[in-house]
Amino acid sequence: MLSETNYSMSELVYLFVDGESTPLQNDILFNALASNTDLQQELQEAILIRDTLVSDSVALAVPLKITTTIFQNAGVALPSNLVVGAAASFGEKIFLGFKSIALPLFTAVGGAFIALGFMNYFQSENNASNNTLAGTNLNKYTNNNPNTFSNNRNNKLTDNNFSNNKISNNKHNNITTANEIVAKKEDKIEESNITTSILKSNETQVYNKSIAISQSALAQNTSLLNQILFTNNNNLTSSPIGNLPINNSEFITSYNEKLPLSFAVRGMMNLSSFPAGTKSTANEVPSNFTISIGYDLTAETKIGIEGGRQSIRYYTFENGKNEKATQRESIDWAGAYIRHNFNELTFFNLTPFANGTLGATVSGPTGRMITGFKWQPENSISLSAGVEASTFFYQKSSNWQNISALGFIYQVEINY
Amino acid sequence: MIQKVSNKSDEQLFEMLSGDKAKKEAGFTELYQRHSQRIYQYCRRICVNDELASDVLQETFLKLLNAAQSKQVMTNIPGFMLRIARNHCLDIRKKQNKQVTFDNIEIPSYDISLESKELKHLLVIALDALPDEQKEAIVLQAYSGLSYQEISEITNVPISTVRNWVVRGKKKLREILAPYIKELEQ
B163 and A48: CB-CB below 8 Å? no
Residue A177 has pLDDT above 70, yes or no: no
> Does B68 score more than 60 pLDDT?
yes
**Three-class HEC string of chain B:** CCCCHHHCCHHHHHHHCCCCHHHHHHHHHHHHHHHHHHHHHHHHHHHCCHHHHHHHHHHHHHHHHHHHHCCCCCCCHHHHHHHHHHHHHHHHHHHHCCCCCCCCCCCCCCCCCCCHHHHHHHHHHHHHCCCHHHHHHHHHHHHCCCCHHHHHHHHCCCHHHHHHHHHHHHHHHHHHHHHHHHHHHC
DSSP symbols for A329-395: EEEEEEEEEEEEE-GGG-BTTEEEEEEEEEEE-SSSEEEEEEEEEEEEEETTEEEEEEEEEEEEEEE
For chain A, positions 294-323, list CB contacts with chain B under 8 A: 322
Average pLDDT on A4-18 reads 83
Choose among B44, B163, B174: nearest Cβ to A49.
Answer: B174
**Three-state SS letters, chain A:** CCCCCCCCHHHHHHHHHCCCCCHHHHHHHHHHHHHCHHHHHHHHHHHHHHHHHHHHHHHCCCCHHHHHHHHHHHCCCCCHHHCCCCCCCHHHHHHHHHHHCHHHHHHHHHHHHHHHHHHHHHHHHHHHHHHHHHCCCHHHHCCCCHHHHHHHHHHHCCCHHHCCCHHHHHHHHHHHHHHHHHHHHHHHHHHHHHHHHHHCCCCHHHHHHHHHHHHHHHHHHHHHHHHHHHHHCCCCCCCCHHHCCCCHHHHHHHHHCCCCEEEEEEEEEEEEEECCCCCCCCCCCCCCEEEEEEEECCCCEEEEEEEEEEEEEEEEEHHHCCCCEEEEEEEEEEEEEEEEECHHHCECCEEEEEEEEEEECCCCEEEEEEEEEEEEEECCEEEEEEEEEEEEEEEECCEEEEEEEEEEEEEEEEEC
- Say if the Cβ atoms of A60 and B40 lie within 8 Å: yes
User: Quick check: B8 and B26 in contact, CB under 8 A?
Assistant: no
**Closest among B58, B83, B45, B48 to B169, alpha carbons compared:** B45
| Residue of chain A minimizing CA distance to B60 | A70
Q: What number is the average pLDDT over the span A218-230?
A: 50
> Is pLDDT larger for residue B17 or for residue A83?
B17
pLDDT at position B74 is 79
> Which residues on chain B are in Cβ contact (under 8 Å) with A56?
120, 123-124, 143
Distances (CA, A) of B69 to A35, A78, B109, B168: 60, 20, 52, 42
Chain segment A305-346, per-residue pLDDT in tens: 999 888 776 655 544 444 444 556 678 888 899 999 998 888
Asked if A241 and A218 touch (Cβ cutoff 8 Å), the reply is no
Least confident of A320-329, B28-37, B149-158: A320-329
- Average pLDDT in chain A: 67
Question: Does residue A8 belong to the interface with chain B, where contact is any CB pair within 8 Å?
Answer: no
Contacts of A45 in chain B (CB under 8 A): 174, 177-178, 181
Does residue B14 belong to the interface with chain A, where contact is any CB pair within 8 Å? no
Instruction: Express as a percent the part of chain A with pLDDT over 90.
Output: 9
Q: Tell which of B25, B31, B62, B146 to mutate to test the A interface (max A CBs under 10 Å).
A: B25
pLDDT of residue B178 exceeding 50: yes
Q: With contact defined as beta carbons under 8 Å apart, do A273 and A279 qualify?
A: yes
User: pLDDT at residue A258 above 90?
Assistant: no
Q: Hey, which residues 104-143 in chain B have their CB within 8 Å of chain A? A: 116, 119-120, 123-124, 127, 138, 141-143
pLDDT exceeds 80 at position A249? no
Determine the Cα–Cα distance for residues A280 and A86; give it in Å rounded to an integer.
10
Q: How far is B98 from chain A (nearest CA, A)?
A: 22
Quote the pLDDT of residue A187: 58
* pLDDT computed for residue B45 by the predictor: 85
* SS3 label, residue A173: helix
- Find, in chain A, the residue whose alpha carbon is nearest to that of B168: A11
- Classified as helix, coil or strand, B171 is helix
Least confident of A104-108, A196-200, A368-372: A196-200
Full-model pTM:
0.44
Which residue did the predictor score with more confidence, B154 or A148?
B154
Chain B: residue whose CA lies nearest to A42: B174
A109 pLDDT tier (thresholds 50, 70, 90): low
User: Using CA atoms, how far apart are residues B163 and B152, in angstroms rounded to an integer?
Assistant: 9
**Measured torsion, CA atoms of residues A244, A249, A255, A259, in degrees rounded to the nearest 10:** -130
Cis preceding-peptide flag for A275 (omega within 30 of 0): yes
pLDDT of residue B125: 83
**pLDDT band with cut points at 50, 70 and 90 for residue A115:** low
The Cα A191–Cα A186 span in angstroms is 9
Distance CA B12, CA B35 (A): 15
| Range with top average pLDDT, A154-168, A218-232, A308-322, B18-32 | B18-32
In the predicted model, what is the mean pLDDT of residues A140-151?
41
* Cβ atoms < 10 Å from Cβ of A152: 19
Question: Could you tell me if B186 lies within 8 Å of chain A, comparing CB atoms?
Answer: no
d(CA A236, CA A58) in angstroms, rounded, equals: 69
**What is the structure's pLDDT at A323?**
42
- What is the average pLDDT across A127-131? 49
Please give the backbone phi and psi of residue B47, each rounded to the nearest 5 degrees, phi first: -80, -15
Mean pLDDT of A148-164: 41
**Taking 70 as the threshold, does the pLDDT of residue A100 lie above it?**
no
Q: How many A-B residue pairs are in contact by the CB < 8 A criterion?
A: 98
Shortest Cα distance from B40 to chain A (angstroms)?
A: 6
Mean pLDDT confidence for A221-225: 51
State the pLDDT at residue A55: 81
Chain B residues with beta carbon closer than 8 angstroms to that of A63: 50, 54
Residue type, B126: A
Output the pLDDT for position A230.
Answer: 44
* pLDDT value at residue A153: 40
A contact test, residue of B49, B64, B124, B170 with most A CBs within 10 A: B170
Q: What is the ipTM of this complex?
A: 0.79
- Taking CA atoms, A271 is separated from A288, A325, A358, A386, A410, in Å, by 12, 27, 21, 12, 13
pLDDT value, residue A310? 84
Residue with the larger pLDDT of the pair A86 and B132: B132
pLDDT value for A113: 64
In this structure, of A193-197, A265-269, B151-155, the range with the lowest mean pLDDT score is A193-197
Give the burial string for B127-159 (b: 16+ CB within 10 Å, else e).
bebbbebbbbbbbbbbbbebebebbbbbbeeeb
**Which of B40, B58, B181 lies at the smallest CB-CB distance from A69?**
B58
A66:B25 CB<8 A: no
Q: Roughly what angle, to the nearest 10 degrees, separates helices A37-59 and A23-35?
A: 120
Q: What percent of chain B has pLDDT over 90?
A: 15
> B108-125, pLDDT tens digit by residue?
444 334 456 677 788 888
**Closest approach of chain B CAs to the CA of A278, in angstroms?**
17
Q: Inter-chain contact B62–A2, Cβ cutoff 8 Å? A: no
Hey, is the C-beta of B8 within 8 angstroms of any chain A C-beta? no
pLDDT attached to residue A135: 39
B91 to chain A, any CB pair closer than 8 A? The answer is no
User: What are the start-end ranges of the E strands in A70-135?
Assistant: none
Q: Is B163 on the interface with A (CB under 8 A)?
A: yes
Inter-chain residue contact B41 with A76, CB threshold 8 Å = no
Among residues A324, A355, A320, which one has the least CA distance to residue A339?
Answer: A355
State residue A137's pLDDT score.
40
pLDDT band with cut points at 50, 70 and 90 for residue B70: confident
Give me the residue from B36, B143, B170 closest to A57, CB to CB.
B143
Tell me if A60 and B166 make a contact (CB, 8 A cut-off).
Answer: no
Q: Which of A67, A70, A75 is nearest to A321 (CA)?
A: A75
Structure confidence by residue, pLDDT tens digits, B40-60: 888 888 887 788 888 899 999
Mean pLDDT confidence for A344-349: 86
Is B51 exposed, middle or buried, given 0-12, 13-18 or 19+ CB atoms closer than 10 A?
A: exposed
For chain B, the average pLDDT equals 81
Mutate to test the interface with B, among A60, A68, A81 (most CBs of B within 10 A): A60
Q: Report the residue of A53, A54, A65, A84 to disrupt the B interface, i.e. the one with the largest count of B CBs within 10 Å.
A: A53
Whether A12 has a pLDDT exceeding 80, the answer reads: yes
Q: Is A47 on the interface with B (CB under 8 A)?
A: no
